[in-house]
Every structure is written in structure tokens, then in C-alpha cells.
Structure 1
Amino acid sequence: MSEVARVLAVQHGVNGGPGRFGEWLSEAGVEVDVVAAFDGAVPPSRLAHDGLLVLGGGYMPDDDERAPWLPATRSLVSQALTRSVPMFGVCLGGQMLAAVAGGKVRADAGAPEHGSTPVGVRAEAAGDPLFRGLPAVVPAIEHHVDAITALPSAAVWLAETARCPYQAFRVGHRAWGVQFHPEVTPERILQWDAGPLLEQGFDREELYAAAVADQEAATAAWRTVATRFAAIVLGATGR
């Protein structure tokens, strides 16, 4: 056993790294090993890490033709669920968790969300190890057109928005999925393509300004979630 708890992060795009979420895990005593799957690296066939972090990307969870590493990633998610290895899925990662566990995901769901968005924390979150005690509404940066349309039957629904209900959920005791991006800062918005945003009714500069205004509240909440996830990883390893 490694002396340091380690989480495997599967990255699906050049700008889709673990960001500040990974930094918060490291601060809490959990190191992050990144597999840059988009760049030709292949996720391992066996989940040997103490935890799993599946990040976002512009794919559906079963978009194997465009992203041939997705079957291996789904296998890792399945292994995490079967063995109760702590897992956190972001955007595509959350959608993948939902799909693997028996839920449904729809491409271009018709209600795109971009930029800082008020996420409502549901009453069910009161007993959740990660989301308990968060403010009733927390801002989070969104960037998606695909969405979860049905949660797995055994999932606990933790957070919602008006346009995309299934914003956060838990499967079992140690697997969480979120639709939003707790790992990014407002500066990431400035890297988005302004053209498609305008076509969907969003102005990039306005999105950036709103995210800057919400940054303090968002950082406090999502740092708490990341630190609690690190504690789950450390607890699962007996450290």
C-alpha cells in the first residue's frame, strides 16, 4: 500500500484537468494522478487507486467512436461502484456515473447552462457526507448542453437547478456525480468559444463577470466538498 492516498483522475480534454479540486484534494492529503486520455493515454483496466475522479468533456458517456478510451473509463466507474471505492464525477463524469448505475443521459437536452448558476441544495443533502450543511443555494459554473434525464433508481438526489434538475446525486455510500464544474475558476470561461454561446443566448463577458462576483461563495462551498471527499478517500484506506 502506498504511504500516500492517491486518486486516479481521468481527463477528457486539454483544458479539462482537475484544476482547483485537485489542489484541494492535495491540500487535504490526497494526491491526484491524471490520465490524459484525450492525448492517447489509456486508462488502466484495473482500478488500483484509493479513489476515482472522472472529469468533464464534450462527449456522451457512450461516445466510444469519438473517444475510444470511454469503455475503459466506464469499467473503472463500474469497479468503483462494485468495490465501494470513493468516486467523484464531474459533468461528463457525473453523467457516466448515472449511466453506469442505470440512469439515463440525453444529448443536447434543450436546456443549456453556461456560467455561474444558482444550484439549489435539496433536503436530502442534509445527511450526505459531502453536501450536508451547505447553503440552500450555491453558485456553480456550468458548461453543458447534454444532461441526465433520469437518475439511477437507488440514487440520492442532492442538488438541482430550474433548467437541469439533476445537478448532484450519490450512488451507494461513496460515489457522487455533479453536472457542474467545481474544479474551474471564472478565468476558464474566457477560454470558451464565444460564437456558440451567443447562439444559445449567452454573452461570454457577462458570464465571466457574474462568475467573478460569485467566486467567494462558490469557492467556500466546493472547497468544503473536495475536502470532505478527501476525508472519505482517506477513511476508506484506513489512513
Structure 2
Amino acid sequence: MTPRPRVLVIQHEDDCPVAMIEPWLAEVGLACDVLAAHEGRAVPAHLVDHVALVVLGGRMGAGDDADHRWLTPTKALITTVVSAGLPFLGVCLGHQLGAVALGGQVRRHVRPTRALHPLGLTDEGRADELLGGLGPVPAVLHWNDDVVTRTPPASTVLARSPDGAVQALRLGPRAWGVQFHPEVTARTVRGWAADRVLTAQEELIVDELARRTPELHRSWARLVHGFGRVVLEEPHPGPVREPS
């Protein structure tokens, strides 16, 4: 049996797991290797045995390298992957790291965002091969304090939140960042508040997520499936290997 192509997934904390991304990529024929960078595992300089990169979310900021030293090599890896034309998907913090790595800027938003928002596609987003083909998306989950305030050169804004903040970016020919979380379950989100009590508003959001999970997951799975098809169907130059 031919082994499945493998995607490297960088995780930043226990409470932000790969969640539904792994089974949804498996449905289109891809396997995931999760690298727990917060546990001290070294982030590689290049993809060697992997055909794509996914970078997950986390509580830290995109510029908190002094406290979370793996962020520096993660940003370097994102730059290498996008420059090589390999597929990349950044989720929340991963989206912000991608923006900063490629020359953009991330800042604290005017207020923390905890909401199920509509996906506000731009004209470019409606024409995008990944987001434009999703069909109706009932809502996407935002749970973030920071946002991209300056987009990288040559990137394209694909979607904006109701308040105008960048919701999704095309970062390269085969690279995307999304400020929202297409991978979560209600249980995952409750884990983000394991050290505190959810606010009343947050409880309402998590309850709505739990109630609408089948509907929401149908559209979120289409996004992950679409990324997986980009990985599998488009020719790519192959992993970048360090010189021997």
C-alpha cells in the first residue's frame, strides 16, 4: 500500500490541538504528524518528509518569541514553505505568524473577539480557489485577542469580519491564513478556559457552537478538504532538503 502523503502540524499548547483537521485531512488521503513545539520539540528549518504545513492557534502573541522561543523557527519555516510554493494553512495564531513572517504586522484588537461571525468574503475571496468554492458558510468561530493590522506585500485579503478586521488572507500561491477556527468542537473551546470561568457571553457562544456543530462542521470540513485537495492535486516542487 502506498503511504499517505504527510502534513506537518505545529501545535503551540495542549489546549489547542489539531482537533478535526486530522480526521478531515484523512478523509481526502492525507496523514498528519503533530509537532508539539511547546514541549521542546525542534521546529525544522525545512519540510523534509512532509508535503504541507499547518500551524495551529495558541494564547501567545505572534511577537512573543522571547517567552515562546519556538515561534522564531516557526516563522522561519513558514517563510521557507511559502517561498518554495508548498501548501500552508495558518489557523488564528498560525495565520498571524504567517502574516508577520512574510512582512505584515499584528496588533492587539480593540477588544477580544469571541463570536460566531459570518464569513465576509471579499471579491477576491469569492474568486479564491479555496474559500470561493466553499458554498454557503453559516458562521465561523473567532476566539482571538490580536488581528493582522498590516498585510504582507503580495498577500490578498480574502475575507473581513463584521468590524473590518482581516478574517482570511492568501499569503502565497498555495498559502492561506484564517483568523477563525475551522477545526474546533465545543469541548475544544471549553478547554481554552480551563483555568478560569467562561463569561456569560462566552457560555452562550459555546452553547451555540455545540447546538450547531453538525451544520457548522459540514462547511468547516469543506475548507479543510479543499486545502487537502490543493496539497494532493496541484503539482509541487517537493520538500526542500538541506544540502548534504
Q: Do both share a fold (TM > 0.5)?
A: yes
Deviations 1:12-43 (A, max 9, x none): 00021211012100111111101001111111
Q: Which residue of 2 aligns with 1:32?
A: 32
> After alignment, is 155-164 or 77-86 more displaced?
155-164
Q: Identify, as 1 or 2, the structure richer in helix.
A: 1
Q: How large is the RMSD of aligned CA atoms in angstroms?
A: 2.2
- Distance in 2 of aligned mates of 1:226 and 1:154: 24
Q: Residue 223 of structure 2 corresponds to which residue in structure 1?
A: 225
- Look up the equivalent residue of 2:191 and give its one-letter code: Q
Give me the identity figure in percent. 34
Q: Give aligned pairs, total.
A: 234
- Structure 2: 5+ residue runs without aligned partners? 237-244
Partner of 1:64: 65
The alpha-carbon distance between structure 1 residues 218 and 123, as it changes in their structure 2 partners (threshold 3 A), is: farther
CA distance in 1, matches of 2:211, 2:94: 27
Residues 80, 86 of structure 1: 8 Å contact kept: yes
TM-score (norm 1): 0.89
Measure, in 1, the Cα distance between the counterparts of 2:123 and 2:102. 22
TM-score, normalised with respect to structure 2:
0.88
Q: What's 2:103 paired with?
A: 102
User: Is the contact between residue 43 and residue 69 of structure 1 (CA under 8 Å) also seen in structure 2?
Assistant: yes
Secondary structure at the counterpart of residue 24 of structure 1:
helix
Residue of structure 2 equivalent to 1:184: 184
Aligned: 1:123 with 2:126? no
Matched with 2:208 is 210
The match for 1:42 is 42
Q: 2: CA distance between counterparts of 1:136 and 1:26?
A: 23
Aligned in 2, Cα 1:122/1:137: closer, same or farther, shift over 3 Å?
farther
Asked if the contact 1:120/1:136 (under 8 Å) is kept, the reply is no
The aligned residue for residue 234 of structure 1 is 232
- Whether 1:149 and 2:149 are equivalent positions in the alignment is yes
CA distance in 2, matches of 1:205, 1:157: 31
Q: Is the 8 A contact 2:90 2:177 kept in 1?
A: yes
Contact 1:111 1:164 in 2 (8 A): no
The equivalent residue for 1:16 is 16
Asked if the contact 2:137–2:219 (Cα under 8 Å) also holds between the matched residues in 1, the reply is no
- d(CA) in 2 for partners of 1:44, 1:197: 36
Note the residue ranges of structure 1 that are not aligned, 5 or more in a row. Answer: none
